[in-house]
Chains A and B, each alone.
Chain A
């Protein structure tokens, strides 16, 4: 897609101020900026504990130009359910309610609330910005942390021993109308998905890869390159799933091996070539499953 088209696609309106408190090169800040461009100002945000609790600014400030409710770590989906119900109770069926949570708040402590809401098909958009660990508390593993990664609770001598939880499949299995993945390096794809989600009723789930320079031990000018490489290496495919059945790969750039992507990040520095070959195998296997789903459905 040419530069010109992307510019036309992305609204100029800024609903996130530049004075926010994210680290330089933070993928999470960029993710919020893009998502709000897609949703517009008629949006209310429910925000469980995560880096964004800080990025949003301390009282009495807010870096967002939309209403924001800070809430307990495990409650993103349930507080969003309540906000939506209240709006509807007073006749407002138009305002979009968005829960905005990290991977910890989604894959781990908030999963019960999210599963409950998805099963009830609550009418909100749930965005998970995924930096693959608990960054706010200083880089501890989550179930989104990929196999082999270093974190402070998975030291290099004993790195993460489990593959990343397949959250998209879990959400899709609830049969919700719309679930998708996106990254901050593909704003056109991201905003198109957000807009599509906005036009659907029921639970919509968007899983956004948002690299974190300190947590990934990468340069703060590499955030976007890393997200782009993750897609090319098929570590993080760009997908959408409708009604839990219709799987589609929305962008499929020429395939690249996982090695260069992993080698760019300090959190994988300890991995041997054999480890990397093992990760390649895992990625290839997941891709095969994905292709089968695209072909045969859910």
Chain B
């Protein structure tokens, strides 16, 4: 069934199809529509879930933790300040290995107050032990939400579904809503291996001495390693059943490319447009979209980007004192490729606090990389020093 819906409602429909059993959430712009729609769905019986209208996001995540530890499917949604307030509990869910699914609408962080998009809220949660999946379209949002539950429950890790404020959250697109029975076949009711159960009592999260803590962390790390393959399997099964798959990474027109732009979120769609225009003019430009940020798709990125002469990473985020976070991580992932297969990587910081990333901004990044690439090639031809890899990221579309 096709429906026209905003990204927020694509999340709500995904949650409904996944038959979440406990929802605990708190309003925050631009996420609130998710909660409002789920409140309606649970009130009128379309979704048989308990809805806890908590008094803060901290309590929203804590309530999801209690529910997931009791073996049911739990969901919440938030954004920006709300996600930041959850931080302690994100670690709790992560290291507690609870398969909670949460949608976060990427919104810039205060002060000053901003409700517009950038990725600093979710990227600040990088090390909390959550899988992170970034979406480009509302269809992808709905699909990834349902997939997220399956992935979470397969590897016992919480999963964060990430979408851009307004560009997705409040933008209407046609979305194919899968049939409930087919989703039920894809995602049966959650059966937890361990849970709070009076017939099988266990204590969770007790004092963990130095003799065992590292192993706890190692198990978590192994789960993240498994999550790569598990996501691929979930995505494959989804594609077989519903005809759509996304991959941890998507290479778009990268064959023979001289420059590949790397993006995540909705900047990807604008970049596709730029790539298509350039290709029409015979320029060898390609795109790699990063959907999965944790676990980091190191292998697929190396496959996609080795042999590409130059890469331009567009970061809608900033790690103050360092640079764009995707660029940082991609450089680290590719650093030990042999020289000759290691692309030159330029990082661009764009679109913070919801500033538009127009085709002109993307072209600006592209031209800068083309120039720096030409300079590096000329220097190499003159027997110059080996090109540098780690350089300062450039802020594009910003007033000095």
Residues from chain A with Cβ under 8 Å of B56 in the complex: 74, 108-109
Interface string of B27-53 (1 = CB under 8 A from A): 111001001100110011000000001
B16 CB to nearest A CB, Å = 16
User: Residue A153 at the B interface, CB < 8 A?
Assistant: yes
Q: How many pairs of A and B residues are in contact by the CB < 8 Å rule?
A: 56
Main secondary structure of the interface of A (DSSP, over half): loop
| A138 in contact (CB, < 8 A) | yes
**How many angstroms between the C-alpha atoms of A154 and B56 in the bound complex?**
17
Contact B43 A49 (CB under 8 A): no
Q: Is B383 an interface residue (CB 8 A)?
A: no
Contacting B53 at CB < 8 Å: which of A138, A141, A155, A157? A141
Which single residue of chain A is at the shortest CB-CB distance from B25? A153
B55 and A143 form a contact (CB under 8 A): yes
Q: Does B113 belong to the interface (CB within 8 Å)?
A: yes
The digit string for B159-198, where 1 denotes a CB below 8 A from any CB of A, is: 0000000000000000000000000000000000000000
Q: Mark A114-138, 1 if CB is under 8 A from B, else 0.
A: 0000000000000000000010111
Q: Say how far B60's CB is from chain A's closest CB, in angstroms.
A: 11
Residues of chain A contacted by B53 (CB below 8 angstroms): 141, 153
The answer to whether A95 has its CB under 8 Å from any CB of chain B is no
**Given A137-B27, A137-B32, A140-B32: A111 and B81 interface contact (C-beta under 8 Å):** no
Indicate whether B111 reaches chain A with its CB closer than 8 angstroms.
yes
Chain B residues, CB < 8 A from A59: 112
Please report which residues of chain A, range 63-77, place their CB below 8 angstroms from some CB of chain B when the two chains form the complex: 70-74
Across the interface, name the chain A residue whose C-beta is closest to B30.
A137
Given contacts A70-B111, A137-B27, A140-B27, contact A49 B35 (CB under 8 A): no
Indicate if A53 sits at the interface (CB-CB under 8 A).
Answer: yes
Q: Mark B240-271, 1 if CB is under 8 A from A, else 0.
A: 00000000000000000000000000000000
User: Which residues of A, 124-177, contact B by the 8 Å Cβ criterion?
Assistant: 134, 136-138, 140-141, 143, 152-155, 157-158
In angstroms, Cα B255 to Cα A270, docked, is 62
- When distances are taken between beta carbons in the complex, the residues of chain A under 8 Å from B36 are 138, 140, 152-153
Contact status B113-A49, CB under 8 Å:
yes
- Which residue of A is nearest B57, CB measured? A109
**B110 interface residue (CB < 8 Å to A):** yes
Complex contact A108–B55 (CB within 8 A): yes
Distance of A35 Cα from B377 Cα, bound (Å)? 68
Q: Are B113 and A134 in contact (CB under 8 A)?
A: no
CB neighbours (8 Å) of B43 from chain A are: 155, 157-158
**B32 in contact with A53 (CB, 8 Å):** no
- Does B85 have its Cβ within 8 Å of any Cβ on chain A? yes
Q: Determine how close the nearest CB of chain A comes to the CB of B186; give it in whole angstroms.
A: 30
Give the nearest-CB partner of A56 in chain B: B113
Q: Which residues of A contact B85 (CB under 8 A)?
A: 72-74
List residues of chain A with CB within 8 A of the CB of B81.
Answer: 49, 72-73
Chain A nearest CB from B43 CB (Å) reads 4
Q: Contact partner of B110 among A72, A134, A138, CB < 8 A?
A: A72
Whether A134 lies near B111 (C-beta < 8 A) is: no
Residue of A nearest to B44 (CB): A157
Q: How far is the CA of A136 from the CA of B29 in the complex (A)?
A: 9
Closest to A69 in B: B111
Please name all residues of chain A whose beta carbon is closer than 8 Å to the beta carbon of B40 when the two chains form the complex.
Answer: 155
B32 near A70: Cβ-Cβ < 8 Å: no
- Interfacial chain B residues near A157, Cβ < 8 Å: 43-44
Query: Contacts of B55 on A, CB cut-off 8 Å?
Result: 107-109, 111, 143
Q: Do the beta carbons of A70 and B112 come within 8 Å of each other? A: yes
Q: Nearest chain-A residue to B84 (Cβ)?
A: A72
CA distance A291 to B312 in the complex (A): 72
Q: With a 10 A CB-CB cut-off, give which of A53, A74, A109, A136 has the most chain B CB atoms.
A: A109
The CA-CA distance from A49 to B26 in the complex, in Å, is: 14
Q: Which residue of chain B has its CB nearest to the CB of A137?
A: B27
Expressed in whole angstroms, the Cα–Cα distance for A107 and B110 within the complex equals 23
A107 to B310, CA, bound (A): 55
- A 68-104 binary contact with B (CB < 8 Å = 1; else 0): 0011111000000000000000000000000000000
Q: How far is the CB of B259 from chain A (nearest CB, A)?
A: 37
Inter-subunit contact A153/B111 (CB<8 Å): no
State in angstroms the CA–CA spacing of A108 and B36 once bound together.
18
- B44 contacts which chain A residues (CB < 8 A)? 155, 157
Closest chain A residue to B38, Cβ basis: A153
Q: A143-B55, A153-B36 are in contact. Are A53 and B113 (CB under 8 A)?
A: yes
Residue of A nearest to B36 (CB): A152
CA distance A155 to B29 in the complex (A): 19
Complex CA distance for A73 and B86, rounded to whole angstroms:
13
Taking CB atoms, residues of chain B closer than 8 Å to A74 are 56, 85
**Distance in Å from the Cβ of A37 to the closest Cβ of chain B?**
26
A70 touches B113 (CB 8 A): yes
Given the complex of chains A and B, what is the CA–CA distance between A138 and B31 in angstroms? 11
Q: Kindly supply a per-residue 1/0 record for chain B positions 333-376, scoring 1 wherever the CB is within 8 Å of any chain A CB and 0 otherwise.
A: 00000000000000000000000000000000000000000000
Residues of A near B113 (CB, < 8 A) are: 49, 53, 70
Given the known interface contacts A109-B56, A137-B28, A140-B32, the answer about A153 and B110 at a Cβ–Cβ threshold of 8 Å is: no
Name the residue of chain A whose CB is nearest to the CB of B40.
A155
A140 lies within 8 A of B111 (CB): no
B267 to A: closest C-beta gap in Å: 25
CA distance A71 to B113 in the complex (A): 9
Chain B positions within 8 Å of A153 at CB level: 27, 35-36, 39, 53
Provide the bound-state CA to CA distance between A134 and B32, in Å.
Answer: 11
Give the docked Cα–Cα distance between A153 and B113 (Å). 24
Chain B minimum-CB-distance residue to A133 = B27
* CB of A105 to closest CB in B, whole Å: 10
Q: 17 pairs across A/B with beta carbons < 8 Å?
A: A53-B113, A72-B81, A72-B85, A73-B85, A74-B56, A108-B55, A109-B55, A136-B29, A137-B28, A137-B29, A138-B36, A140-B27, A141-B53, A152-B39, A153-B53, A155-B39, A155-B40
Chain B residues proximal to chain A, CB less than 8 Å: 26-29, 32, 35-36, 39-40, 43-44, 53, 55-56, 81, 85, 110-113
For the complex of A and B, list the 10 residue pairs with the smallest distance between their C-beta atoms, beginning with the closest: A108-B55, A158-B43, A109-B56, A137-B27, A140-B27, A153-B39, A152-B36, A137-B32, A155-B43, A137-B29
